Amino acid sequence: MTTVQLGMPTVASDPHGHLRGTESFPKAAHKALADTQLRRNLGHATRTIRAKRAAVVGEVDDWEELRRAGESIKADTMARLPELLVQLEEQVTARGGHVHWARDAEEANRIVVDLVRGTGADEVVKVKSMATQETGLNEALEAAGVAAFETDLAELIVQLSHDRPSHFLVPAIHRNRAEIREIFLREMPGVDPALTDEPRRLAMAARAHLRRKFLTAKVGISGVNFAVAETGTLSVVESEGNGRMCLTLPDTLITVMGVEKVVPTWSDLEVFLQLLPRSSTGERMNPYTSTWTGVTPGDGPQTFHLVLLDNGRSNVLASPDGRQALHCIRCSACLNVCPVYERTGGHAYGSIYPGPIGAVLSPQLTGISGPDDVNASLPYASSLCGACFDACPVRIDIPHLLVQQRAEAVAAHTRPTAQDLTMQAMAIAMTTPARFKFAEKALGLGRVLAGRKGRITGLPWPMSGWTNARDLPAPPQETFRQWWSRTHGDTQRSGAGPSTGEDA
């Protein structure tokens, strides 16, 4: 019997800073909000995807039952993850594949680089893989003298523009057609100088560029959407056909997979193949669904390696509630409905996992070192409106996780922050009716600060932590207590209305 040690729950390594940005979310969001072109691009794209998703989800009578089935399968998978991973390894090995275990990003990159070097190749083609973006594999390959070519159109745009992805599904969602045309003219070798920003012409240019790479690359590197433990079958779903080219043409295929992507059986895969396309691209089914099991002599890659990546996932799994974040199937539905993401875009989150699910997953993967850790600000990047839970195809209770992580972040403070002091002051003010009444009167000063604009745009420390990221409306001329007293008199004393005085 094979024994697999996933290791003690440890946080992720992040050798290339892909899980943690350089500044807190409020600071990064402040810059993003000033970019009107970015906001237009994001607003148009997310509105379009939301409308498509709503239309196809409305066609399925048992959509809620499917969501609950997906939730149950994921919960069962996490409960027996080590057992399922061992089963997957046995099945892949029995069918001619090789399985490697990577504790963290450095180990995964080292394994892949060594495998590529072993083939003698100096270039590889890749199909979109969040796991390799997480580890910074492209940077590791470049350092080893290996050129990596992204073949997904959006990923290619991001790579050519030396940018970072800002969305799971549409990494270049922050770019419009005119910007993409400029990128192609500037960075793509041999492109037609008369290239226009017509989508068909842009796609043709990318296709001609990539076709040469597909035909010459000896090594393909892929991610994976799902892995079936009972047969050792892996699956990639995509919309452009580039995935199928990467998975079949090279002599060697290397797949990097986060350990949470395993599902127990083919019947379980059936549920997710219904949930994923409707939630991600607003389609009834994915245009290309590729599956492969080990190696087939004379057909496709003759050498197959599967790298199973932990990189902090055991740490997430150790949290009874937080492990819900590992249920994510990277559909992006929560991003597309989030009012915060729609206005700031993905770069403001710092991590390659943006949006509501990224705000709970990234801090758990990396751990939080203290109040100054930029990832400590991510759980606050939400209005807690609940739209992310309603849209999630596997019913991850993201609002609950966000509140829980906010509480954990406050509890971990070794010294009081401005927010802590503000909340303590509010707690004192709300302890007695007399203090609350006094605080109401003090708030009247806010009208002076707001002036004729009716908005408070700056407050002294510690309240500056709030106004650095948003404006405050001026306090009203009349409080509720004052209104009630004026319109109802002292009815409260006769028991005819709610309390308006000292017993409020």
In this predicted structure, the answer to whether residue 207 has a pLDDT above a threshold of 60 is yes
Mean pLDDT in residue range 466-493? 80
**Six-digit token string for 141:** 């390959």
Pick the more confident residue, 110 or 418.
110
Band (491; pLDDT cuts 50, 70, 90)? low
Q: What is the tens place of the pLDDT at every residue in 59-97?
A: 999 999 999 999 999 999 999 999 999 999 999 999 999
Band (504; pLDDT cuts 50, 70, 90)? very low
Any idea where the domains of the chain sit in the sequence? 25-316, 434-485
271 vs 494: CA distance, rounded Å: 61
Q: What is the pLDDT of residue 470?
A: 75
311 vs 314: CA distance, rounded Å: 8
Q: What is the tens place of the pLDDT at every residue in 344-366?
A: 999 999 999 999 999 999 999 99
Q: What is the pLDDT of residue 497?
A: 47
Pick the more confident residue, 170 or 205.
205
Residue 411: how many CA atoms within 13 Å on its side-chain side? 6
Q: What is the pLDDT of residue 499?
A: 45
Q: Give the closest residue to 87 by CA, choosing from 297, 310, 308.
A: 308
The stretches of 172-265 forming alpha helices (DSSP H) are 177-187, 199-216, 242-248
Q: What is the tens place of the pLDDT at every residue in 227-268?
A: 999 999 999 999 999 999 999 999 999 999 999 999 999 999
Amino acid at 441: K
In this predicted structure, the answer to whether residue 155 has a pLDDT above a threshold of 50 is yes
Q: What is the pLDDT of residue 325?
A: 97
In this predicted structure, the answer to whether residue 160 has a pLDDT above a threshold of 90 is yes
In this predicted structure, the answer to whether residue 498 has a pLDDT above a threshold of 50 is no
Contacts of 327 (CB under 8 A, 6+ apart): 70, 71, 74, 75, 78, 260, 394, 396
Q: What is the pLDDT of residue 442?
A: 84
**Prior bond of 462 cis (ω within 30°):** yes
Mean pLDDT in residue range 98-124? 97
**Six-digit token string for 205:** 């240019």
Pick the more confident residue, 417 or 298.
298
495 vs 499: CA distance, rounded Å: 9
Across the chain, what does the average pLDDT equal? 90
Long-range residue pairs from 436-444, CB within 8 A, at least 24 positions apart, any chain: 436/504, 437/481, 437/502, 440/479, 440/481, 443/475, 444/475
Q: What is the pLDDT of residue 9?
A: 62
Of 8-12, 146-150, 457-461, which one has max mean pLDDT? 146-150
Of all residues in the chain, what percent carry a pLDDT higher than 90?
A: 69
Q: Is the alpha carbon torsion for 324, 343, 57, 244 positive or negative?
A: negative
Mean pLDDT in residue range 427-435? 91
In this predicted structure, the answer to whether residue 379 has a pLDDT above a threshold of 50 is yes
**Six-digit token string for 497:** 């209305």
In this predicted structure, the answer to whether residue 296 has a pLDDT above a threshold of 90 is yes
DSSP three-state, residue 231: coil
Band (446; pLDDT cuts 50, 70, 90)? confident
Q: Give the closest residue to 3 by CA, choosing from 88, 111, 66, 86.
A: 86
Return the CATH class of domain 25-316.
alpha beta
108 vs 45: CA distance, rounded Å: 34
Band (1; pLDDT cuts 50, 70, 90)? very low
Q: What is the pLDDT of residue 116?
A: 98
Q: What is the tens place of the pLDDT at every residue in 30-64?
A: 899 998 988 888 999 999 999 999 999 999 999 99
**b/e per residue 398-412 (b: at least 16 CB within 10 A):** bbebbebbbebbeee
Q: What is the pLDDT of residue 23?
A: 94
The stretches of 249-348 forming alpha helices (DSSP H) are 266-280, 313-317, 333-337, 339-344
497 vs 491: CA distance, rounded Å: 6
Three-class secondary structure assignment of 140-187: HHHHCCCEEEECCHHHHHHHHCCCCCCCCCCCCCCCCHHHHHHHHHHH
Band (317; pLDDT cuts 50, 70, 90)? very high
Lowest mean pLDDT among 61-65, 207-211, 294-298, 489-493: 489-493
**Six-digit token string for 346:** 């993905």
CB atoms < 10 A from the CB of 446, how many?
Answer: 15
The stretches of 217-265 forming alpha helices (DSSP H) are 242-248
Q: What is the pLDDT of residue 492?
A: 52
Band (175; pLDDT cuts 50, 70, 90)? confident
303 vs 253: CA distance, rounded Å: 6
105 vs 15: CA distance, rounded Å: 7
Band (496; pLDDT cuts 50, 70, 90)? very low
Pairing state between β 98-102 and 147-150: unpaired
Q: What is the pLDDT of residue 6?
A: 52
